[in-house]
A and B are shown apart, each in its own frame.
Chain A
């Protein structure tokens, strides 16, 4: 029975080998600063580093199989996105020399590089968010937000929204199965799926709003106040080497960018 305690209040405030949430958030911040201030070649290396972290660092390992699957899928889509953006920009922005030609299409240097800059930035920003949420229990994150003084109403809305988003694919699948059972070709192809999804989504979103109201009332009936903080284990005030390392690196990247801008 006592083992429940380990699951019941998350990892906030406990001394473990894993990074605390603020450390991970500092890392995400560092990645974001890199994404905006470093050249795309360096950011490509940062992307590689983030992928390696997801595999090797215990703190950033996905918490579930689905998180791992989403991460792998995203990496695959990111490669395609980068390639497409680089090619489209290379085709449309006709500046610099021609890097290569396919049949009668010429792809220009400036366009390709611009496409790479944009796509690498998008991928890095998204990847860092995915890395954080894929490796962090949402309840732990909510508790962290509450412990740093985030309004209870905001945290509650965030959690209810995430709960709805988590349930959404399941509900869509249920509706699709029900429609298939009466002969509607909702899974017959991409077009049918898309059309069915468009029809299903608005009522689902409306019903989720109604359900949220019911949930709100049910919470109120349990004495829950959206504008009153709940009891939290305590703020994490430990000294963290990781946080200092990440913050120092982030400041270094900013100083480098300012220096380069001044020397221009």
Chain B
């Protein structure tokens, strides 16, 4: 069952003297929705995902934080002390690192997650078989993870997390090194997760999330500068042209069909 996420006045520094990586952040993500975190590098997207996954506190003992994070019916003030997996799963930026290298085949790699969770082996195997089928990865089951393409590896990386059926799935720049077809496949996977899982995607590419996200959050220097739905984001496009890459706006323009929004994007790009 999907969990809602509620962040209230959350501030985070990596050290006492360090600048604020996340500053007075307040955000509510409804259960079962897809939220897109957008913004430039060092905007705070990855830090926020790490905070929600629970890895931030255990990896940065000297960090200073305040505020509260509520995931489902659990409230953390300010940070979850440990990794919240399997309730919350995070796929990191580098899919190559996400795949452990401890197992020889894709099947075993995905199985490792359930082994770790102590699922009985027969049950675990059946679950992995089912998941690989649903993700269209069955044909890769016996392949060595290190021999896969970027897109395949990304989906396997997702499978290693999804196999535990997390209530919240956090994805850090999932489109890294993915071509158009692979991005399309990934979008279908995320769409299929809607309602069952709360998905938070951090990305600098608006085009990837535009068609799938219900909520858009733009971050800049650790602050939320915008939070709203697709319509309101497209209406305020001109305000964020400096935060999102221009070539991406061109792609976005191509992806947007509605003429009003097209015109707004064209205005941002200076195309008359």
A: which residues have CB within 8 A of B? Answer: 1, 4-5, 7-9, 137-139, 142, 156, 159-160, 163-164, 166-167, 211, 214-215, 217-225, 230-231, 233
Contacts and interface: CB of A to CB of B under 8 A. Distances in A.
Contact of A223 (B105, B111, B113, B138): B113
Contacts of B92: 214, 217-218, 221
Given A7-B105, A9-B108, 5 more contacts: A163-B102, A220-B55, A222-B113, A222-B161, A225-B116
A99 B101 CA distance: 54
Contacts of B97: 211, 214-215, 218
Interface residues of B, number: 40
Interface in B208-245: none
A53 to B, nearest CB: 24
Contact of A218 (B100, B107, B115, B138): B100
9 contacts: A1-B138, A8-B125, A9-B108, A160-B101, A221-B83, A222-B89, A223-B83, A224-B112, A233-B121
B248 interface: no
A139 B104 contact: yes
B55 A222 contact: no
A110 B129 CA distance: 65
A223 B104 contact: no
B206 to A, nearest CB: 26
Contacts, number: 93
B85 A217 contact: no
B32 interface: no
Contacts of A164: 101
Given A8-B108, A218-B92, A156 B116 contact: no
Contact of A221 (B89, B94, B102, B141): B89
Given A4-B125, A8-B107, A223-B85, A163 B101 contact: yes
Contacts of B103: 139
A173 to B, nearest CB: 14
B101 A7 contact: no
B175 interface: no
Contacts of B102: 142, 156, 159-160, 163, 219
A164 B53 CA distance: 27
Q: Closest 4 interchain pairs by CB?
A: A163-B101, A214-B97, A223-B85, A230-B115
A210 to B, nearest CB: 10
A166 B129 CA distance: 28
B59 interface: yes
B98 interface: yes
B118 interface: yes
Contact of A4 (B86, B112, B129): B129
B100 to A, nearest CB: 5
B149 interface: no
